[in-house]
Structure 1
């Protein structure tokens, strides 16, 4: 019977590769020393296979991807060091067993192979989220194969269940395995970091490290969603899978290092299997958490959000548009306004459709129409499925009439923008994450309209009343 000998959380900043950092890497010396220590421990464990879960390979919204080829290559050309290369052999046997167990549990997995470019327009290669940890392990230990997994944007419970599928596949065979959850913590610890500073980044890092050390699965799944989103992390989904792969074990966690030298939190943690336990029934507890989250969201909905949600749910379940419910106040039936409806799933945009000017008789009808359009007809996404409805968060922006303006009078936090050239127009809502300057706002709107920046165009601005 196979066994997972140990688990590790490892960050993946390319700058800690000496050929890339060129001296700057020692600003993250604690992280480097901890990764070297972890590599030495893995050498002592002598695993035949290392399973590595990474955020930075081919990322699917509706599936987990797993490399299903005999070997996989990667280098650091994107970071100025194309001569630093890795070539890893993949355990095809364990990979295929994981795929089979995931399929039996109705978890979507995309096997990537030689035809992945033609089939999915992605390369099957070793990404830096896997390559950085493996670089340090390879310095002291090479007698192993890997399983290369890129998490998908699935619900956290499905990611946990995928971790359970990994554990079942390992135990079915005689392999000895180490599992690495690759992921950085907050990317918002400083203004000079990759994202704008947010004081909640430090709060997130303290909280997640404390919970990981205790292997507090319920605590991690109960973490505040706004805190996670404000932190700008990339490791949580790796952690959800790792926790699922711990199901049935008593595990002790320990932090080997933590620091945030470049505005990004780097945590290196080890998890030692103490003993096997009776099967822990966390999955049922996690499903209960999901149900409580849903009930809490619905309890706090205002009438605009409730109407958007019920509109999409009714259309997907019944195949027809919702009739205006009795609870809609008279003000929404008398007022004509343009409306945008935005959908998010696990913090990621899942659809957004709206109108610049009202095209129906009232705000209520505008919401009903655009909620369905956002869920079913946004060309950037496949239609929302029935099983996804429980995980969708809604926001409704009611637009005030636009007015002509100039670039100097814009403010991306307060005003949305419309750019026009002839019959081409692009619109962008205000106060969007990652849009912090007027230049960014106009550039995105121009691209949406198909207008080049050197053309003459008109600018309008508008305010919104946001319901979320």
Structure 2
């Protein structure tokens, strides 16, 4: 495989590319068919030397809406593993407001559109971190929203790879063009594929999807492409690097698939922060990994055996920030939907002890849910929020949505929202406070008078 990929890359003669390669579109058929075209995309990508790649491809088999994220730590290839940025996946789940992004490993297990790109990534960018998403159907508005989310997440060391073949023509695919054509196939396919390229080149997802609706062109990755066009920053320009068809490769024009290598160039992804970044907290990467293991083992042991975890006996000796007196919340989700969330507002014990207790509480003692069953464990994901100390604020005007968690108190009524709740639900400050008042057992407008507010931030992972 390594030799085959190298032979394909050796044939690439890239033109001068002005600007940084922000993204590429690459085909995903078998190497004898589309490998020569894909090599052009990945040779261009290699020039940018990204440290992280957002990899999006279409869902060929699972009928889904939105974008399915994986539940694994890495993608394995014969050329080495590509680690998955699980924290970024967790952020996308929050930012997607519970609908655009969801966890579904089964969708990934049966999908080839990303796997065909991972071998090229492992070849030209060994060990690069990936954020993989399998994209289902999207409306134009959903594509725009998703693109905006990605644009805000992408930074100067990131790149995007979109996996897509272009026209699937002939009896094998039930498509003969619109209007149909049955002769001069190579010429007519080239014309149709150039029209598709021109639609992509507008960098406008509305115009691209309008082309699709008008022609019915069987571009399998049309929705990932629309998301990319919505995400690209101003000043981006598109370049067509290579074009090929399976009909020309095989000499069989009864059916043919088209492949295009497209690159998108610009100054760079400039991370757009709409609010300060409070993701850096007391735990370093090693400590966060240990915290996740402790919390998950605590859930697993309680659900399966009804026993509380002793981390030291389990080979998970607490250290560093886990020995500090800190408060935390543990959130469990089942395929992206809330399954339990319990936490401490005030720090009263070492963080590792709070993790064990709150993990068990989230699994077994959240009054909104039945206790987690053993058969549910494979479908669960776990999120930890380590809280900063509470700070009393003078009123709602000091609360920043997305940055601040909020504790509302009025008399004997009290309720708390974590910082990520409002962005997940798409709430502004006033809407968030109305729901918080209701959670405290008060009328929705009770927050406007007689309440006290405390805020905190959280390191979420």
TM-score w.r.t. length of structure 2: 0.46
TM-score w.r.t. length of structure 1: 0.45
